Amino acid sequence: MVTATGSLMSQAKASAAPKIKGAIVCDSLNSVRARGGDAELTRIINHLDGDAKKVFEGSIHPWEWYSLDAFTDFLEADIRETAGGNAEVLIARAEKVIESQLRGVYRIFVKLGSPGYVVKRIASVHQTYFDGTQIIPDVDGDSRATIKYIGFKARHRILEYTIIGFYRKALEICGAKKLDVHFSVPMSDDQDYSEITISWA
C-alpha cells in the first residue's frame, strides 16, 4: 500500500529540478538593496558563477519561476559577503521581510488564527512559493506540529534559516509563547524529506 506521503515523495522525485517563485527572489533582492544599496547587490552577484550568475544578471520577474539552486547560491554568497558566513543572521533577515508581508492579507489569518491553524496556512503559502516540491503539515494537538518539506536536498540547506524565520515571526504575531522552531530532519541530511518541528505554549 502506498501512503499519501510516499505518493507525494514519488511525485516530487519525478518532477524537474525545484524552482522558486520570482516574487520571493525579488523580496530577497529588495532586502539586499535596503541594507546596502545597489553596490552591495552588485558585489554579491559578482561572486556568483555559472547558472546562478546568469540568472541574477538578468531581469527577475515576480510571476516567473527560477532555479532553486541558483537562489540558494545567491543566499550563500550574500551570507559570505555581508555576514562573515554566519547563516543564522538569515533568520532575523527573513523575519523582517516576512513581517512586511504579514502587514497585508496574510496578517488577518495570522492575528485571528490559532497557532495550529497558522502553521497549516503558512505551509499552504509556502507551497505556492515552490514548484517541484511538496510541503505537508501535521498539527499534533494544540501545542506541536511537524511539517515535511519534500524535494529539498542538502544543497538547499540555507533555506532552513529563512523557513524558521517565517514560522517564528508569524507565530509570534498570533500570540504563541515559548516557541521552539527547528529542523528535526535537516536538509543537510539529504533524505527523502526534511522536517521542521514546532512547539509552543
CATH number for the domain that contains residue 146? 3.90.1520.10
Query: Which three-class secondary structure state does DSSP give residue 21?
Result: strand
Q: d(Cα 82, Cα 92) in Å, to the nearest integer?
A: 14
Q: How many CB atoms lie within 10 A of CB 182?
A: 11
Average pLDDT of the segment spanning 127-144:
93
Q: d(Cα 152, Cα 185) in Å, to the nearest integer?
A: 11
The three grid cell numbers given for residue 196, joined into one nine-digit string: 521542521
- The answer to whether the beta carbons of residues 166 and 196 sit under 8 Å apart is no
- In the predicted structure, residue 140 carries a pLDDT above the cut 80: yes
pLDDT for residue 14: 43
pLDDT for residue 146: 97
Q: d(Cα 22, Cα 41) in Å, to the nearest integer?
A: 17
Range of the domain at 119: 4-199
**pTM for the structure as a whole:** 0.86
**Is residue 13 very low, low, confident or very high in pLDDT (cuts 50, 70, 90)?**
very low
Q: d(Cα 146, Cα 136) in Å, to the nearest integer?
A: 8
C-alpha of 32 from chain center: 16
Select the more confidently predicted residue: 174 or 159. 159
Q: How many domains does the chain have?
A: 1
**Is residue 28 very low, low, confident or very high in pLDDT (cuts 50, 70, 90)?**
very high
pLDDT tens for each residue of 88-127: 999 998 888 877 777 665 666 666 678 998 899 889 988 9
Helix (H) or strand (E) holding 174: none
